[in-house]
Amino acid sequence: MANQLFDLTGRTAAVIGAGSGIGEAVAIGIARQGARVICLDVNEAAARAVAARAAGEAGGSDAAPLDIRDGAAVDRVFDGLDGQYGGVDIAICTPSINVRKPILKYTDEELSRVLDVNIKGNFNVLRAAGRVMTARKKGSIVLFSSVRSQVVEPGQGAYAATKAGIVQLARAAAAEFGPHGVRVNAIGPGVIETPLTAPIKANPDWYNAYADKTIFKRWGKPEELVGAAVFLASDAASYVTGSIIFVDGGWLAADGRFTPPGM
């Protein structure tokens, strides 16, 4: 019975950002649960390489290029998948960008880059996926937020604001799409080893400081996000919507860094 709850056999999943990092891990993990996975990424070659790896799983796979900043392109992709596969059951959107700079040093162009991907891009996916799913009265949409939706540090202002915004977009969409049988949730990773965090990993002091913020004293791996994504995509989460699941190694749970004597 438990295995059936997480079984995605017969479902079509669009995984955006599938070409690398968390998106790649999630695409492979969803395929292993039996779903047909459509790997979408601005880097088409990378998306096709991941799709080839997923092709041997039960549900099969395909790939296509997609820049989520282009609303018309997002609409075309989801309309096409809806027509080709008779519906999109799962949509998972992982891409984001970060420009780490103090607010006073941010340029208009840098702010637009962050907002265009993290807010406008996720909005475009919500709107396109929500339109085709609500019409068919079923579906699960999963967005990716961050621990930065809750806590922040210098140089993370714009990024943190967008990650908090993604949570509110998911909640609003959950309220709007829910009466039509569509669930919307978010995942909040902590510090994960991905191309986005490569500049931090290259700095030992910075890397270790982030590791020490977690209870496990280490960074997470992209594969450790798969369980949360499969859960939210599956029938195991049939009564879960408008929620965020943090996968952060305890980053948000442990506030103090000093252990009192005798503990």
| Beta strands 139-144 and 182-189, pairing class | parallel
Considering the candidates 106, 159, 210, 239, report the single residue annotated as catalytic.
159
At residue 3, φ and ψ (nearest 5 deg) are -60, -35
* pLDDT at 195 (0 to 100): 81
pTM reported for the whole predicted model: 0.95
pLDDT the model gives residue 259:
64
- Give the pair of three-digit tokens for residue 152: 């922040």
- Alpha-helical (H) ranges within the chain are 2-5, 21-32, 44-54, 71-85, 108-115, 122-136, 157-177, 198-201, 204-213, 226-233
Q: What is the pLDDT of residue 196?
A: 76
Residues of the chain whose pLDDT is less than 70? 1-2, 58, 256-263
> What's the pLDDT score for residue 258?
60
- In degrees and rounded to multiples of 5, residue 197 shows phi and psi of -100, 10
How do residues 43-64 score in pLDDT, each as one tens digit?
Answer: 999 999 999 999 877 678 999 9
* Whole-number Cα distances in Å, 44 to 47, 144, 172, 197: 5, 21, 31, 22
How high is the pLDDT of residue 133?
98
159 is catalytic: yes
- For residue 235, the model assigns a pLDDT of 97
The whole-number pLDDT of residue 201 equals: 85
- Domain residue ranges of the chain, discontinuous segments joined by +: 2-190+230-247
Q: What pLDDT score was predicted for residue 3?
A: 73
The per-residue pLDDT for 262 is 67
Query: Model confidence over 114-161: pLDDT tens digits?
Result: 999 999 999 999 999 999 999 999 999 999 999 999 999 999 999 999
Q: Is it true that domain 2-190+230-247 has CATH number 3.40.50.720?
A: yes
